[in-house]
Chain A
Amino acid sequence: MAEYKKPLPAISTLNQPYWDGLKRRELTLQHCNECGKIWYPPAPFCPVCWSRNFAWQKLSGRGKVNSWVVFHQAYFSSFRDNIPYNVAEVELEEGPRLLTNLVAVDNDDIMIDMPVEIVFDDVTDEVTLAKFRPARKP
């Protein structure tokens, strides 16, 4: 695999299961067994009811574009060749919102509320990123 020069995530004891899930091609987040909340970012207990009784749950990987931006300035030299590149905030079917890049779509065709689905991008041997593309018609 060619050397990956873009920033990599800070993996901690708390969010390790999220990154492990992506590596095996599953989008997982914590689910509260008491109140049913599914949340992001990872936390030591449910941010709604403060229960510690939670489990990592596999999600559908589907959602919609809540908002998006297009970078015209190269803040990171490793993103310079991608300018202009998009960053989207995707609202998952299950509620939480993730920042991501939309792939397989022209920036001019991105719209708020556009349905999207997950694409797993293995950027290094250790890290797989959750990216999204326009949802395929069922």
Chain B
Amino acid sequence: MERRKKKYNWEPYVFIAPNFIGFIVFILLPVLFSLGISFTDFDIFKGFSHTSFVGLENFKTMFADEWFWVALKNNILYTAVTIPVTLVISIVLAVVLNNKTYCTNAIRVMIFIPYIASIVAISVVWMMLFNPSQGLINQFLIALGVSNPPGWLGDMQWALPAIMMVGIWMGLGYNTVIYMAGLQGISESLYEAAQIDGASKWQEFIYVTVPMLRNTTFFLVVTSVIASFQVFGTVNIMTNGGPGNATTVLAHYIYVSGFRYYKMGYAASMAWVLLIAIFGVTLLQWKYQKKHESNF
């Protein structure tokens, strides 16, 4: 009895309390609140007294809402393109930077800056780059001999790819730094063994580096998927979902529904569908990872 009592340490709880209370008040309660209102027709003008419970009505509306599906499709496209491209470029960058280059630190800082820079500043700069007549990108394309370069943000076909390009550029720094940390953990002896077996540099990369970075890659895929499903800032600033609905993504449509159409209940229900989708995808990834871990 005496022993059991001694085991109970309350100090750690007190130490995490400030953070935890903040989490409860500013994250957990609002999240639960949003679950609650997702079954109602709540909006800030109605207040609670005029809000009525609508059951699954919001979810039914959602599945018949053309905009929701377009947003989801754009989200999936965005994720499916940006993540593999970002990962491939950053793994190559990490290997290059890890080996013999000059000014490694300077370059590392340069590619990391987009990750910490203000998304508004980034978007504004990219809007200038994407300017169809005076922008750097199209000037460059014209110099290369492209006679009719894309209109980028004002073009139905190219607006989403333009947003993706910015997303990839922003993600590179962080991913590269994480990969570089991963590279430190690979034992030199593996490379020596490969060299003795006569492996080329390319083979070393494919058969040693890439498999040994599997856990790092897994970590990056999971976090990137979660982040990419929530892409909002670049879309909101650069295209506002347009032209037409070419760059409408879920987070943006949730915002529009909540704050432009004042349908908070509907917006909350979409946010929950987004949360469940992300959660589901993450679970799948864990399962896949576990299966492959055992083969290792």
Q: Do A and B bind each other?
A: no
B residues with CB within 8 A of A? none
